[in-house]
């Protein structure tokens, strides 16, 4: 697998949310506004990068009997650092995200990439895979959040974009966009759109899926 495919494959064709349907819970919870969605995407990317690099470096000495425990410990340590960083430098966003930063520990994307990719590959490909999956995750969050904020409040990043009726404009906020069910519907539409444009994905869902890395070879 080439470096470019490792980096850019998860952005669309192997997107962790649209192709693998992972990390959906946090995507439903933090996409009411664009800013917290972007911060959440960055946080997951940082945790992915740290975990994949650490697991790749330790894969030769990590006992298989406690492998999962060590991986979860690595993920938890990275999440704690990210959470404290947000509390110190972005307290308002940290309050909006509340417990969902801590729940990155249970995000299937992070542990899944550590197990499926980093345990089999050297450091650089593992780092690229982490960045690619983080970008793919952040892309979906940003797309859903931008749509929900724009049509739910008429703003983007807190700035007015559509003139509201109460200010003499024409835009009437869609209150459905403020509810988590709207995120569920939008993610479903994105999954349908991707698989409609990529028929190969529909065929591989029942068999060997493209995110299984074509039987990753040990290095």
DSSP characters over 23-57: SHHHHHHS-SSHHHHHHHHHHHHHHHHHHHHHHHH
Q: What is the DSSP string of 146-163?
A: HHHHHHHHSEETTEE-S-
Q: Can you point out the beta strands (E) in the chain? A: 155-156, 159-160
For 98, other C-beta atoms within 10 Å of its C-beta total 12
C-alpha–C-alpha distance, residues 47 and 76, integer Å: 9
The helix/strand/coil state of 173 is: coil
- Residue 132's pLDDT is what? 95
- pLDDT tens, N- to C-terminus, the chain (219 residues): 688 888 988 988 888 988 888 888 878 889 999 999 999 999 999 999 999 999 999 998 988 889 999 999 999 999 999 999 999 999 999 998 988 899 899 888 999 999 999 999 999 999 999 999 999 999 999 999 999 999 988 899 989 888 888 777 888 888 899 888 899 999 999 988 888 887 776 555 544 444 444 444 444
Helices (H), 98-122: 108-113
Give the residues across from 160 on adjacent strands: 155
Residues counted in the chain: 219
User: With contact defined as beta carbons under 8 Å apart, do 113 and 216 qualify?
Assistant: no
Distances from the Cα of 9 to the Cα of 136, 145, 156, angstroms: 9, 22, 28
Residue ranges per structural domain of the chain: 3-203
Angle between helices 123-153 and 34-58 (to 10 degrees): 170
End-to-end CA distance of the chain: 13
CA angle 79, 82, 85 (to 5 degrees): 150
- Residue 201's pLDDT is what? 66
- Residue 211's pLDDT is what? 44
């Amino acid at each position: 697998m080439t470096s470019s495919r490792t980096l850019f494959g998860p952005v669309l064709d192997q997107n962790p949310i649209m192709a693998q349907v992972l990390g959906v819970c946090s995507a439903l919870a933090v996409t009411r506004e664009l800013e917290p969605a972007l911060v959440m995407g960055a946080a997951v990317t940082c945790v992915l990068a740290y975990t994949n690099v650490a697991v790749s470096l330790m894969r030769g000495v990590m006992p298989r009997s406690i492998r999962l425990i060590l991986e979860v410990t690595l993920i938890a340590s990275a999440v704690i650092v990210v959470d404290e960083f947000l509390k110190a430098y972005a307290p308002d966003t940290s309050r909006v995200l509340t417990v969902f930063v801590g729940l990155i520990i249970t995000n299937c994307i992070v542990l899944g990439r550590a197990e499926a990719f980093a345990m089999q590959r050297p450091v650089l490909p593992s780092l690229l895979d982490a960045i690619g999956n983080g970008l793919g995750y952040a892309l979906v969050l940003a797309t859903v959040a931008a749509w929900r904020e724009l049509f739910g409040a008429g703003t983007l990043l807190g700035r007015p974009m559509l003139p509201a009726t109460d200010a003499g404009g024409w835009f009437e906020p869609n209150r459905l966009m403020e509810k988590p069910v709207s995120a569920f519907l939008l993610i479903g539409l994105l999954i349908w759109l991707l698989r409609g444009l990529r028929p190969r994905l529909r065929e591989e869902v029942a068999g060997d899926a493209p995110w299984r890395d074509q039987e990753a070879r040990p290095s």
